[in-house]
Amino acid sequence: MGKHIVVIGAGIAGLSAASYLARNGYQVTVLEKHSMSGGLCTSWKRGGYTVDYCIHWLMGSRKGTEFYSMWQELGAFTNADGSTVEIINFDQFTTIGLSTGDSLCLSSNLEQLRDELLQLAPEDEKEIKKFYRSLKRLGGTLSANPLVRTYAGLIQFATMMSHLKPMEEYAKRFKNPKMREIFLCSVPPAWSLVALTLGLSQQPLKSAGYPIGGSLNLSKNIERKAAQLGVTFRFNSPVEKVLVSEGKAVGVQLFGGETIASDYVVSAADGYTTLYSMLGGQYISSAYQEAYEQYLLFPSTVMVALGIRKELHQFVHSSTPYFEQPIVLADGTIHNSFNLNVYAFDPTLAPAGCTLVTVLFNTWEWERWETLANERPQEYEAEKKRIAEEVIKRLEAVLGPLNGLIDMVDVSTPHSVIRYTGNYKGSFEGFAPTKASLSKRLPKTLEGLSQFAMIGQWTTPGGGLPTAAKDGRDIARCICKQDGKHFSGKD
């Protein structure tokens, strides 16, 4: 039996690390605080519906693209019955409602998108055409010719670097106020342009589609493959501390006192909890100190999920409708719009003839939700009910009358995120994609502590499932190299 490695956290990064370590001869135990794998790549059952929280599009969903082979190795696209996960690609990336009453469809066809923008703002022709060309370059190529792929990769990287500029700065290039509003309502002003353009640029290649079955199905597929490779999973097993002896990680201690010895510890858990709690704040580098003190975070969310007893195929799958009458949340934030997802395209999420619909509000005011849930639980439940009612009123302007058609209502908040995943401040994807965070790399290992590594969204600003899975693969390769072993991604 090879060395024993403990992996903390069964999110996508932890699942990936465990899978690749096991296929390279290591004995792997995954410890997860929750009752299931996936972390924030999750779904849950409510009244006959499956509420999906995470995936809207997944990079690497097409053969020949950068991340496809990794997902294949991990078993992400193989269902429990042996069938292949169906990938849905959309003609529309999303539709944005504007305060003027207009709306704009961000088409997956970049030529069509360019023409729609030109029709909306002919005075911005020069900048619109530059934006179109940059999307084409950022998309890359599916050519099998290695020279073409290398050249396209270099152009793609250079374009991505140019898209690190803040959205607020980029939007000022446009004269038309509608164009500025389109960009500024797509992502927060301080975030980099790439937060919008990376996903949009992949649509023409059909390389960032939606996997039927949703987020938890993808996670369970990866977990099942890892288990087949010999990985041991222990759920409901929260780690209290990493055990250290003579500058080496030698195992972990669970809440309750049980200790588990190991030759190496990989934490794919929440970064703040790992550094400040599990390691007692003893190994915080200047890079991580700067990150937690200065970097912006992805927000947390308030999500309203509705089960609607009606097929809604005629509606776009993703949109951001604008409403004159805002919704005010308990945290004090005011919202004239929300992210609307109509899952009519995924029949696995709803009973026959019905549709799952989710509405998402972003919020950075996580503390108010924690206080409300922990100190005034009755008010907390009342607030969730009120928000759901407000959302339903707004949705009727989009989807039509809903009276008597709603047979499931579920509301999650930042408190839900913190309770089930422990994510710092309820953030759903770690450090936000800003120029400051994307320009630097955070270390996977900590000075003064050997036989230990951190991986996942809190070590890779910008987040995302592909980068989390790649982190797991990369740390397995690194450990193999340290041990003088040849790394293989195959079974």
pLDDT per residue of the chain (491 residues) written in tens, 0 to 9:
689 999 999 999 999 999 999 999 999 999 999 999 999 999 999 999 999 999 999 999 999 888 999 999 999 999 999 999 999 999 999 999 999 999 999 999 999 999 999 999 999 999 999 999 999 988 875 444 454 355 455 556 667 777 889 999 999 999 999 999 999 998 899 999 999 999 999 999 999 999 999 999 999 999 999 999 999 999 999 999 999 999 999 999 999 999 999 999 999 999 999 999 999 999 999 999 999 999 999 999 999 999 999 999 999 999 999 999 999 999 999 999 999 999 999 999 999 999 999 999 999 999 999 999 999 999 999 999 999 999 999 999 999 999 999 999 999 999 999 999 999 999 999 999 999 999 888 999 999 999 999 999 999 998 899 999 999 999 999 999 999 999 999 98
Same structural domain, 241 and 304? no
Q: 64 — alpha (psi -120 to 50), left (phi > 0) or beta?
A: left
Give this prediction's pTM.
0.95
CB crowding 265-293: b at 16 or more within 10 Å, else e: bbbbbbbbbbbbbbbeeebbeeebeebbe
CB 336 within 8 A of CB 380: no
Tokens found for residue 397: 């302007």
Q: Is 95 within a domain?
A: no
- Sequence letter at residue 457: Q
Listing from the earlier edge strand, what are the strands of the sheet with 92-97? 103-107, 92-97, 318-320, 339-342, 355-363, 300-308, 406-412
Task: Outline where 34-109 has alpha helix (H).
Answer: 68-74
Tokens found for residue 396: 């009727």
For residues 455 and 58, give the distance between their C-alpha atoms in angstroms, rounded to a whole number: 20
Same structural domain, 15 and 70? yes
Same structural domain, 107 and 58? no
Among residues 178, 68, 58, the alpha carbon closest in space to that of 124 is found at 178
Q: Is 191 within a domain?
A: yes
**Helix/strand/coil for 135:** helix
Q: Which residues contact 147 (CB under 8 A, 6 or more apart)?
A: none
For residues 297 and 258, give the distance between their C-alpha atoms in angstroms, rounded to a whole number: 34
Q: Which residues contact 217 (CB under 8 A, 6 or more apart)?
A: 43, 79, 85, 211, 348
Same structural domain, 328 and 284? no
Same structural domain, 169 and 20? no
Run of H or E residues at 253: strand 248-254
φ/ψ of residue 455, rounded to 5: -140, 170
Same structural domain, 407 and 436? no
Give the structural domain span for 248: 4-81+213-295+429-482
Same structural domain, 288 and 188? no
Q: 456 — alpha (psi -120 to 50), left (phi > 0) or beta?
A: left
Domain boundary among 163, 178, 205: 205
